[in-house]
Structure 1
Amino acid sequence: MAEKKHGEPIPYDPDFNGPLRKRSCTDVLCLSVFICFIAAWIGIGFYAILNGDPSMLLVPRDSMGRRCGKDADVLEKPYLFFQDLTECLKPTTPFSGCPTPQICVKECPNMFYTTKDNSTEQIKPYCVDENIHGKCPKWILPSKPFLFRCLYDVADRKKSHNPRISRIREDEITRLLANLGIEVAIKTFTEDENALQTGQNIVEDIIVSWWKILIGVGVALVICLLYITILRWLAAPMVWLSIVGVIVGLGAALYFTVIEYISARKAYNDIGKQYEEDKYGYEGTSLKTKRDLWLGGLIIISIVLGIILLVMIFLRSRISLAIALIKEGSKAVSSVTASLCFPIVPWILQFGVIAYAIAVGIYLASSGRPMYKTRYVDDLCSARINIADNVECDPKSWQQMVQSHTDFATYCPKANCKFIRMNNDLLYPYLQAYNIFGFFWLAFFVSALGQMVLAAIFAQWYWTFNKATLPFFAVTSAFLRTLRYHIGTLAFGSLIIAVCRMIRVALEYLDHKLKQYDNELTRAIMCIFKCFFYCLEKFLKFLNKNAYIMCAVHGKNFCASAKSAFMLLMRNILRVWVLDKVTDFLFFLSKVTLTLGVGAVSYVFFVSDLLPSKIIDNSNLHYGVVPVVIIMICTYLISSLFFSVYTTAVDTLFLCFLEDCERNDGSPEKPYYMSKNLMKIFGKKNKMD
């Protein structure tokens, strides 16, 4: 009954020879829709480029609405200077803009100035035109350009830690703040000084040690290649070594966490009585937070370690099966080593899709007519000059009006005609939605292309009875075969995922809009919908992956391949769970082991004192852990790239193995294609004459 419910087993076909059988184009209708969609997306890109101007969004504008470094009268002044940065601290700034006069300047100031200095000549470039406001800044601090905006350089207060920064005396800052009486305002810029200085030190460490980081990444690449090569012959020992390594590492982390927690708890208990007194309040709170953090880390590590140990105890036999599949996958990957490099192609295509979507989005956002509105027009200004606040204005007409009213600076010192946004046409939201959907569709299409090509490679390897006859250009032939016959199938599968993802985006947007009506009912409904579509997308991705594998093997359309894969998996649901969970778990442990191993070696070179300075000198680094963290991140990404090939190989070989079990019986007429190792595990053998 189970077999009937999930379809009949795949019958024996004497003419079946795997992916090399005669094929025809699949899902031609979806291919036509896909081509038309891409053509329309390219057309939208041309429209956006012809009508958009990203500089309207990115280039700073002064109080007159002139684009610094772009408009004719400020062509040589690319930076924007704020006369009083403390005005930008107001909570209304994100909505109405900074209400201080803003001027385009040739360069950001590198001096200190107050009104008591009586040296107005040097600050003339930072004064607004006399006919408009007639005022110069009351104070100036050394600034550095950031996104073409002149901002106070906090690092100037840390010259002793960075001799390359110009020397400025601390007493000048103290005198400046005392004269102006704005200690509290300037403190807002400098209170997070340690964090900013830390960020600067990290950037400097990266710049100084970039070549060491590259060497470390190169070593990590070699180690990952060695690990994968060793898997070819020692799959079981390497996987078990990864498991033991993670367990030992978690055990060491648990021991260290327990020690630190006990120390933090003791320190907190020692001042328990004094904690209630105000003078010990901050110290007590800090120690309590430290104790709670170590306790949280202890609990998390204990749970993770307990889960891994339980998996090891209760799934020993399943792990052996997963290791056998990994070994088969390593054989396939070793036979077609070019497959390890193939994921670079989808990555490059993905970067191209991302870059194009972002470019089109920016050009679309900057298309249309720029909208300017009056800002900071108070009642006195409105009554005397006869202008209203928050109404559309024209920068040229505004400038003429300002110059024609001699009392404008008196009654309207802060009023200006300010650029607000691009007034896009009615089609803009639909074009932007089309662009977002195009990004999702193309991104999932490229991912599907990589999966099907790899599936075709490993399926051809499995169904080749004599592995020595495998074509030399297996990757190239699989890639060309996929492009020639199955673009429509890839477009169909990726379209389904793109629609599901677009629905999830729409739900997030709707959830954001419903915040003003926030209540328990709406939160519950939105949570249910988001959870449902998240699970649906995960299931569809799993189904698509197996449909691509079946299409690569049999050359059928998407629906037929998805049905065949689903029925085959349902007839072997327990084995599927082993593959999808245990194998992925083992791959994850291997990636963690590689990352921690490379991190430990990097720590010895960059942080510890085990090696003499003659071998490697890190005295110019503020934080030796910075290159260690970067190398570990790169190691994890590199190992993920390689193991993504292994994951596809194992998934493909597993489906082929299930089909092999149903199609053949080991007789001389219908021999198994599986390896002797798999035959031994599953108690099967070929009966030779």
Structure 2
Amino acid sequence: MQEASSDLNIAWRELIYLLLIALAISLGILIAFRYIVSYVIYIVLSGSVVVSIGGTIYLWFAWYQENKAVKTGKIHVDDSSVTPYLIYAILMTIVAVVTILVVLVMRKRIALVVQLFREAGKAVYSMPALLLQPIYTYLLIGLSFVAWAYCVLWIESAGELYKNRKNHLHYKKDAVLVTARWYNLFLYFVMAEFYLGCQHIVVAGAVARWFFTRDKKRLSLPVTRSTCCLLRFHLGTVAFGAMIIGIVRLLRAIVAFIQNRLKGYDNNCVHGILWCCQGCIWCFECCLKFLTRNAYIETAIYGCSFCTGGKKSISCTL
């Protein structure tokens, strides 16, 4: 905690500059989506291909140079980065091949993507209040983080004080405090996902109302009406989806905690199993977030439950 606060005290100006630069880039992209969306799409696709190919060439060249330095004796094998460069080069090659194949396969649908982004730009310009939704969301998530950190301080400073063999003082936690520690983390995960889910439903409801209204002049406060609809009908849907994702995130945190506790033990088999578990849970979490977000969209449009919206989103995706 002390190191983090000292780092923030030193680099707060740089962080503010980076935030302002990111804000300027975001506003520039919004303006570009409104007027030159087709050029932006082609630039993004071309840039993705060029960056992936360039990264692949650089990593293979770096691996070749490192391997050559090892063979000539300029670098000792133990001090070299031959294996990491080889792994990164192979992974980057796979990414480049997949990117190129996706661009080639989807090239006939670029016009559809351009039209979708053009409509999205029109929606944002018609409803500028949509731009405030992420600000509200992340302010609430930040407040939840502060509440979580406050509870962490209380939990970690509670318990029976004892002195270990190195004469260091620690607080011994009983089962209630250990449970409270994990329950506090679970609540933070659920609240963060709840606020994000509320944002998805508000945005989806407002955009759907804007898109399906033929006479745009008859629209009256679509974002406000979508928010009222969320508060009246869909809070339970969002809470259910947030709880599911929160459980999965808690499982990832538990696996990471076990990995951290087993760092001192030299057991490659156990470490490999834990890494596989971490990767599988992460993939499952990403898929679950994707399906949940689509279920929220279906709920905002049709007013259905979470499970019904999930079924509709899966059928639309497949």
**TM-score range normalised by the length of the shorter chain:** 0.7 to 0.9
Instruction: Note the C-alpha offset of 1:351.
Output: 1.0
Supply the distance in 2 between the matched residues of 1:523 and 1:291 (Cα, whole angstroms).
Answer: 23
| Deviation digits for residues 145-174 of structure 1 (CA, Å, limit 9, x no counterpart) | x87xxxxxxxxxxxxxxxxxxxxxxxxxxx
Q: Report what 1:444 is aligned to.
A: 193
- Of the candidates 29, 32, 46, which is equivalent to residue 230 of structure 1? 32
Native 8 Å contact 1:370 1:419 kept in 2: no
Instruction: Note the C-alpha offset of 1:350.
Output: 0.8
Instruction: Note the C-alpha offset of 1:353.
Output: 1.0
| Deviation digits for residues 512-555 of structure 1 (CA, Å, limit 9, x no counterpart) | 678879585x6777566555544443333222212211221222
Q: Report what 1:561 is aligned to.
A: 309
TM-score of the superposed pair, with normalisation by structure 2: 0.78
1:464 aligned counterpart, secondary structure: coil
1:329 aligned counterpart, secondary structure: helix
Greater RCO, 1 or 2 (C-alpha within 8 Å, sep 6+):
1
Residue range with higher mean Cα deviation, 356-365 or 286-295? 286-295
Q: Report what 1:243 is aligned to.
A: 45
| Deviation digits for residues 30-56 of structure 1 (CA, Å, limit 9, x no counterpart) | xxxxxxxxxxxxxxxxxxxxxxxxxxx
Supply the distance in 1 between the matched residues of 2:147 and 2:59 (Cα, whole angstroms).
Answer: 47
Native 8 Å contact 1:268 1:287 kept in 2: no
Instruction: Note the C-alpha offset of 1:326.
Output: 2.3
Equivalence map 1:274-673=2 (5 Å): 275=73, 283-285=74-76, 289=80, 301-372=92-163, 418=167, 420-471=169-220, 473-509=221-257, 520=269, 530=278, 533-567=281-315, 569=316, 573=318
Native 8 Å contact 1:453 1:482 kept in 2: yes
1:371 aligned counterpart, secondary structure: strand
Letter matched to residue 30 of structure 2 = I
Instruction: Note the C-alpha offset of 1:372.
Output: 4.1
Q: 1:290 to 1:368 in 2, by over 3 A?
A: closer
Q: 1:517 to 1:327 in 2, by over 3 A?
A: same
Native 8 Å contact 1:452 1:549 kept in 2: yes
Q: 1:477 to 1:287 in 2, by over 3 A?
A: same
2:171 aligned counterpart, secondary structure: strand
Letter matched to residue 136 of structure 2 = V
Largest Rg, 1 or 2 = 1
Q: 1:434 to 1:224 in 2, by over 3 A?
A: closer
Native 8 Å contact 2:70 2:80 kept in 1: no
Native 8 Å contact 1:332 1:458 kept in 2: yes
Letter matched to residue 439 of structure 1 = Y
Instruction: Note the C-alpha offset of 1:311.
Output: 2.3
| Deviation digits for residues 252-300 of structure 1 (CA, Å, limit 9, x no counterpart) | 556666777777677667xx3xx3xxxxxxx433899377777766655
2:35 aligned counterpart, secondary structure: coil
What RMSD in Å do the two structures reach over aligned CA positions?
Answer: 3.9
Letter matched to residue 467 of structure 1 = K
Native 8 Å contact 1:229 1:334 kept in 2: no
Instruction: Note the C-alpha offset of 1:360.
Output: 0.5
Supply the distance in 2 between the matched residues of 1:459 and 1:364 (Cα, whole angstroms).
Answer: 45
TM-score of the superposed pair, with normalisation by structure 1: 0.39
Percent of residue pairs identical? 26
Native 8 Å contact 2:69 2:75 kept in 1: no
Number of equivalences: 313
Supply the distance in 1 between the matched residues of 2:267 and 2:294 (Cα, whole angstroms).
Answer: 41
| Deviation digits for residues 123-151 of structure 1 (CA, Å, limit 9, x no counterpart) | xxxxxxxxxxxxxxxxxxxxxxx87xxxx
Native 8 Å contact 2:241 2:292 kept in 1: yes
Gaps of 5+ in 1: 1-57, 59-145, 148-199, 276-282, 377-417, 574-689
Letter matched to residue 497 of structure 1 = I
Supply the distance in 1 between the matched residues of 2:183 and 2:308 (Cα, whole angstroms).
Answer: 29
Gaps of 5+ in 2: none
Equivalence map 1:183-222=2 (5 Å): 206=11, 210=13, 217-222=19-24
